[in-house]
Amino acid sequence: MSVDTVPLASDNPLSRPSVLPFGLPPFGDISPEHCREALLAGMAEQRAEVAAIVAAPGPATFENTIVALERSGGLLTRAWNVFGNLTSSVSTPRMREIEREIAPVEAAHDDAIRLDPALFAKIDAVHTARHEAGLDDESVRLAERYHLDFVLAGARLDEAGRERLTELNQELSTLSTAFGQNLQLATEAAAVGVADAAELDGLDDESIATAATAAADRGVDGYLITLLLPTGQPVLTKLRNRELRRRVFEASLTRASAGEHDNRPVAERIARLRADRARLLGFDTHADVVLADSTARTTAAVDEMLASMVPASVANAEAEAAVLREAAAADGIDDLAPWDWAFYSERVRAERYAVDTTALRPYFELDRVLVDGVFHAAELLYGYRFAPRPDLAGYHPDVRVWEVIDADGAPVGLYLGDFFARDGKRGGAWMSSFVRQSRLLDAQPVVVNNLNVSRAADGQPTLLTLDEVNTLFHEFGHALHGLSSAVTFPRFSGTAVPRDFVEFPSQVNEMWALWPEVLGNYAKHVETGEPLPADVVRAIDEARLWGEGFGTLEYLAATLLDQAWHRITPETEIGDPIAFEHQALESAGVSSPLVPPRYRTTYFQHIFAGGYAAGYYSYIWSEVLDADTVEWFKENGGLRRENGDTFRGRLLSVGGSVDPLAAFRAVRGRDADPAPLLRRRGLAPAA
């Protein structure tokens, strides 16, 4: 499809910047057709803007080339920020159709810009002269980033190479869209139906009501257990019916691996095309391409870190399995199965540490966790206040909007919260932006957090698990990264940092979930108002290492699977993708019948339909920085405004405008020490 001449109706609400506060999109006025029209017109408009940059007379300068590129694509960015978020949160058949149509067109559009020899010649000239041009540090870094972006995108290829790269990118874009859509539909279809409430023995009344509501929403009788994105499903911790546990586990494990929404051939084709593209770009593997723009830099560095954790993780998981076999044997089960693990692990936690995570849920009511926990910590640490804006509408009735105000009363931006699972919403939890902060564009941030919490029955409070509480604090850490941004150029705004650094600030923010001053403010019984007892808090801390063997091993298995898929070469024989998966896990020493990967190939959305291809290691890589930073906060008095100002001023606010490890050193005063992480995960003795 050509985007050379695409008309844009004057009444299209995306045709101009929104007049709502902070540029919040007027969601109620925007249809899928408006998005389609604006995307196509936006691509044509940006192509014209880039053509003008190339044709500009005189030598290339930072202003007429790099800054001009930063200013280009306003309509396209506006449209993508809306459409991309809506396809993740409120997808419909028509939106999925548009997504499939637009994906290859958008890939071709990006290639037309990044593979333009004349444009790259100008960028190269600015890059060469960057230190003699009198530029400030952020501008020098922007010239360097544009140059690297274009080089890694193939700007140095010859004409035949550029044509081949364009073909690869278009097919990859189409396939990634197909993978994500297959997974969403397969996950919805894999929900487990239950006819008799007696089979739900072990679930509390609120969870049973949620299953009844899910069935009613689908128009089916009985109860419906819907699935979340990872392999492990929360209901497995409480279901006493072993056969139902098996059904739920196997439904999760086999998603998108057969039938109409089979992702096996899609994943294989994606991996092979990425290998072809890496070879074309002069790299050995796709992982090498990804690592070239990361803080890790090399696959060897990633391998060294992962390999150092495997033996202890396997040993810890095997030790946990021995304990669970004893617990299961007491129930007459002599063949512990993977669908038994979560159930007996929860029992051991309750018996050994007096921690029943399900019994904690009445202390974690969603709004109280959000307002009195997440927001409260942000106010104490950064001075941010969150004022509800019921006058501003989100893109779905579930979405709520808050205005964020700094300690001095200055407006910061908008925060949107979309916390409930529903059909048409992809699994998992994430942060995204509708507007990115930029002094160049005079823009303040509009960010959104998405979770997939099960909605309570009408009139009942929504209660969170402890894991969901941590997830909310984690995703809000990403939101703080976006809200705290104070950069000139949109290329560096907020979370626009290397993939293996972006999880670091969000993981740090998890520390406040159980910080006494924060926990005591939000963890109150939903009916009585009584605080979470001090002995329970102590037990939670004492139980911290229980389950770390399983958690670390399932994560490492997924990470090493990601690396295996993205270390193939064009010559690699794959065969059946599931057999390839088994061999990869076996070779890495993380194959366990009781501990499957956190994500298997067919539902590994992060790497086949997200931005984490060859980068899922980022979570543990970032956790090294996170654990060391937690030590820094503790050494300096914890939840103090002075600490927050330092962390925000030296790290959160700078986004990608400085080297990320330099930003870390500006806070910590040195390079990261891995010892705190090893102790946290039980991989080294406590200090």
Residue pair 218/230 in contact by the 8 Å Cβ criterion: no
* Separation of alpha carbons 116 and 121, rounded Å: 9
The set of residues, in sequence order, having a beta carbon less than 8 Å from that of 417 and lying 6+ positions away, is 370, 399, 400, 402, 448, 449
Alpha-carbon distances of 99 from 68, 93, 182, 183, rounded to whole Å? 28, 10, 13, 15
Residue pair 54/116 in contact by the 8 Å Cβ criterion: yes
Residue 475 among the catalytic residues: yes
The gap from C-alpha 71 to its chain's centroid, in whole angstroms, comes to 27
Q: Rounded mean pLDDT of the chain?
A: 96
**520 burial via Cβ count (<10 Å: 0-12, 13-18, 19+):** middle
User: What crossing angle do the helices spanning 117-128 and 137-152 adopt, rounded to 10°?
Assistant: 140
Give the tokens for residue 302: 């990633």
* Percent of the chain whose predicted confidence (pLDDT) is above 90: 96
User: What crossing angle do the helices spanning 93-114 and 74-89 adopt, rounded to 10°?
Assistant: 140
Alpha-carbon distances of 473 from 123, 479, 627, 650, rounded to whole Å? 40, 10, 16, 21
What pTM was estimated for this model as a whole?
0.92
Give the tokens for residue 260: 């109409």
Determine which one of 106, 171, 475, 581 is catalytic: 475
The domain locations on the chain are 21-114+116-156, 190-255, 361-542
CATH superfamily label, 21-114+116-156: Endopeptidase. Chain P; domain 1 (1.20.1050.40)
Q: Which long-range contacts (CB under 8 A, 24 or more apart) does 130-135 make?
A: 130/62, 133/61, 133/62, 135/62
pLDDT per position as a tens digit, 27-38: 999 999 999 999
* Separation of alpha carbons 150 and 144, rounded Å: 10
Residue pair 95/145 in contact by the 8 Å Cβ criterion: no
Question: Looking at residue 355, what is its pLDDT?
Answer: 86
* Separation of alpha carbons 499 and 305, rounded Å: 16
* Separation of alpha carbons 314 and 498, rounded Å: 29
Indicate left, alpha or beta for 402 from its phi (over 0: left) and psi (-120 to 50: alpha).
beta
Architecture field, domain 361-542: Orthogonal Bundle (1.10)
Say yes or no: do domains 21-114+116-156 and 361-542 share a fold.
no
Residues of the chain with pLDDT under 70: 1-6, 686-687
Question: Looking at residue 1, what is its pLDDT?
Answer: 44
Alpha-carbon distances of 156 from 62, 67, 171, rounded to whole Å? 20, 22, 21
Question: Looking at residue 7, what is its pLDDT?
Answer: 80
The set of residues, in sequence order, having a beta carbon less than 8 Å from that of 74 and lying 6+ positions away, is 17, 42, 45, 441
Measured at the CA of 366, the angle between CA 361 and CA 371, to 5 degrees, comes to 130
Question: Looking at residue 457, what is its pLDDT?
Answer: 86
Give the tokens for residue 321: 């399995």
pLDDT per position as a tens digit, 293-334: 999 999 999 999 999 999 999 999 999 999 999 999 999 999
Single-letter code of the amino acid located at 202: G
Helix (H, G, I), strand (E, B) or coil at 484: coil
Give the tokens for residue 635: 């050494």
